[in-house]
Amino acid sequence: MSKSNVQLDMQQKQFRPEIEGLRIVAALLVAIYHIWMQRVSGGVDVFFVVSGFLITASLLSKAGKNGTVNFFDFILGLAKRLLPAALIVLLTVIIASYFLLPETQWNQTIGEVFASLFYYENWQLALSNTDYLDQTNEKSPVQHFWAMSIQGQFYIIWFFIIISALWISQKFTRNIRKTLFIILSVLTVASLSYSVHITAINQPWAYFDTGARVWEFALGGILFLFITRIKLSSALSSAAGWLGFIALISCGLLLDVGGQFPGLIALWPVLAAILVLVAGQNPTRFGVEKFLGSKPMMKLGGYSYGLYLWHWPILAFYYAVMETRNVPVHHGILIILASFMLSFAVTTIIEKPIRSIKEKNRYHSKAIAALVIVAVPVFVANTLWSGSIKEDVAASTAEGSEEFPGALAIVNDLDISYDENTELLPSPANLDINMAITYEVGCHHEEGQEELPVCEYGELENPEYEVVLVGGSHVVPWLSTIQTFAEEEKIKIYNITKISCRFNGTGTGEDMSEECPKWNQMAKEKVIELDPDLVIVNTDIGIPTSPVVEPERVELYRELDTHDLEIFGIRNNPRPLFDMNVCADPANIDHEECSIVAEEYVPMPSKWDRVENKPPNVTEYDYSEYFCPDGTCPAIIGKRIVYFDGFHMSRSYAESLGPIVREDLVAKLEEMDR
């Protein structure tokens, strides 16, 4: 395409001082809302709009000068601007996390550092079912990199959009602005429609979904195409600019930004940013652009990126060290000041020198070498940290160790003392993967899966007994318990499970997935077909908010009785209403918040005992005393951590229950033989 075809758009590019001020306002809003309000401000959405505006201007300018855009030059230019500060933050996080974060957060942090380094942190959080606003979840120090990841993905998308628009206009329309407007309009409508849809059905996922955010960048691009054609009177421009500014700073206060983003409600901060930009194109004596474009605001705006990068890790480490989520005003101010100081230091010492590197050849060897020098330590440090954890785990999970009695400490009335140096099983650093083998081999029914997966364990060749373990994630850990003796007792185990589902007949109820009814029907039919000696299930949900056994569960067990199926019912383990992982530290074992009250979580009699007209085929086994000795339910028992994620039993603790459950299960099987 000839240079003249994009000349008109190139002429539109101009320095916009108010954008620097808008950036620092957005960054401060993000920091202030995170620190004191623990809410979302809408500031990130402003970054997205501004990025769409500026990158469209930049790419069209390059195309206007050269007739095209060189992908390598484009990416290297972005890398020189974005990577130095981000890499220094990641390296600092790795070092600080090792010394300041509890080991239970190490694996999460390592995984998210890699995700942030390679710009897929948003998908890492989405796939791990992270709720950005759930204050019960422990936040990693790099969780805020989700926004940079979306932005990085957007830059790649935008390059190909601009190249496509150039090609189309060259071949057909000869009008780059019209072509690009059509493309961006279609993208805006499609992305916004998808955003509204996915936010309605799965808001935590939508929050991190690139597709649900692209429309914000696209509107910024469309604004650039036409902003010079928007003419406002002085009065209207001033009113629009200040209206946008006030709307922006009040967004998080007036709206449930986090709980409804990024659907239609995200139009609030997006349109607020657009109003400010339009006002800046029509400057007035008392317009908001005079304030945002002032020298102090422009100067601060140069450090807005660093402020965003640094404030969250400092806040995360503050939470860990101070053991509180309530930040006093003076502490919060210090966090913001420290973020500014670090931003200034990194920008001055590292970022500016790398950005100012001038190359005399087209290979950009100096700039690439500088970026590699900063990036390699991050990758190497994180890899070595990850490797050291795996070695530690391998050394600490030796089977049959009498040093870690777990539930047997209660059976044998062992008096175990703890201090900060006490070794635990599993290693707290590897707690989040200390799960039953079914998680490793994919034995759970997945969403959209037509067939019902059934896995087999224990004695597979010549079993004397067959049992079916069926239910949701809370019945799964008991597989690890039964596996400790299944081969010796010649028991074959069929595993039929689905996460976020309970085997209650209907598949309906609190926290159940949409496919639970279908899975329940398939599971029931399979259990009847297998005709095992025993069906092993949970008899209740296990949380205080569900005080009774669902009637449909009772009816399901009654139906199984008509098929002569006996049920070995296990009372659910206590399910704390907060993440017990924070208590997986021997130094905190006596902490008041780390030992929930048994009477509240496992009241007597059990929920099943209170059911009237119980089906005769059900026998409930209550192992609550091995979770809640002496009236409390601690996170550590017999040097074993009880929960692997806060409320699901860890494999290590489940295995320690083997001798206890073995006696009951074998006795029940032998009783049925007679």
Identify whether residues 63 and 198 lie together within a single domain: yes
Residue 655: predicted pLDDT: 93
Q: 583-641: per-residue pLDDT in tens?
A: 777 766 666 667 778 888 888 888 899 998 899 999 999 999 999 888 888 888 999 98
466-470, 616-620, 640-644: least confidently modelled range: 640-644
Which pLDDT score is estimated for 534?
96
Q: Identify whether residues 279 and 195 lie together within a single domain.
A: yes
In angstroms, the CA 212 to CA 130 distance is: 16
Number of domains in the chain: 2
- Predicted local confidence at residue 415, as pLDDT: 86
Asked whether residue 447 is domain-assigned, the answer is: yes
457 and 364 housed in the same domain: no
The CATH number assigned to the domain holding 510 equals: 3.40.50.1110
Gap between the Cα atoms of 148 and 121, Å rounded = 8
Which tops the pLDDT comparison, 150 or 414?
150
For residue 44, being part of any structural domain is answered with: yes
Q: What is the chain's length?
A: 674
pTM of this structure? 0.78
Residue that is last in its domain, among 312, 343, 378:
378
Tens of pLDDT, residues 279-293: 999 999 999 999 999
- The verdict on residue 312 lying in a domain is yes
pLDDT number for residue 673: 72
In-domain check, residue 425: no
CA 432 – CA 104 distance, rounded (Å): 7
The number of beta carbons lying within 10 Å of the beta carbon of residue 154 is: 21
Q: What does the pLDDT look like over 225-264, one tens digit per residue?
A: 999 999 999 999 999 999 999 999 999 888 766 567 888 9
- Whether 356 and 443 map to the same domain: the answer is no
How close are the terminal C-alpha atoms of the chain, in Å?
88
Q: Is residue 323 part of a domain?
A: yes
pLDDT reading at 551 higher than 70:
yes
Q: Are residues 445 and 366 in the same domain?
A: no
**Helix (H) or strand (E) segment spanning residue 310:** helix 304-322
For residues 231 and 330, membership in a common domain is answered with: yes
Residue 491 predicted with pLDDT over 90: yes
Does residue 505 register a pLDDT over 90? no
Is residue 444 helix, strand or coil? strand
Q: Is the model's pLDDT at 398 over the cut of 50?
A: no
Q: Say yes or no: 345 and 463 in one domain.
A: no
pLDDT interval class at 557 (50, 70, 90): very high
Q: Residue 172: what residue type?
A: F
How confident is the model at residue 442, as a pLDDT?
A: 77
ω into 616 cis (within 30 of 0): no
| 459-467: average pLDDT | 95
Scored b (16 or more CB within 10 A) or e, 641-659 reads: bbbbbbbbbbbbbbbbbbe
Question: Within 10 Å of residue 620's Cβ, how many Cβ atoms?
Answer: 19
Q: What is the pLDDT of residues 91-149, one digit of tens each?
A: 999 999 999 988 878 888 999 999 999 999 999 998 876 655 444 456 789 999 999 99
pLDDT > 80? residue 301: yes
Same domain, 203 and 264: yes
**Shared domain check, 465 and 348:** no
Q: Is the pLDDT of residue 313 over 70?
A: yes
Q: Are residues 438 and 343 in the same domain?
A: no
Claim to verify: residue 373 and residue 435 sit in the same structural domain: no
Same domain (yes/no): 490, 637 = yes
Residue 290 near residue 64, CB atoms below 8 Å:
no
- In sequence order, the 6+-apart residues with CB closer than 8 A to the CB of 658 are 481, 482, 484, 485
Domain span holding position 177: 8-130+137-378
Higher local confidence (pLDDT), 418 or 300: 300
Cα dist from 186 to 192, 214, 215, 412, whole Å: 10, 11, 9, 69
* pLDDT tens figures, 6-25: 444 444 456 789 999 999 99
Bridge partners, residue 535, by sequence: 468, 567
Give, as one character, the DSSP assignment of residue 76.
H
Average pLDDT, the chain: 88
111 inside domain: yes
Contacts of 214 (CB under 8 A, 6+ apart): 154, 157, 187, 191
Q: Which amino acid is at 632?
A: T
Rounded mean pLDDT of 430-450?
80
Per cent of the chain over pLDDT 70 is 91
Does residue 363 surpass a pLDDT of 70? Answer: no
Is position 359 within any domain?
yes
Report the range of poorest mean pLDDT among 54-68, 258-272, 348-362: 348-362
72 within some domain: yes
Type of residue numbered 636: I
Give me the helices (H) in 202-264, please.
Answer: 203-208, 214-226, 234-254, 257-260
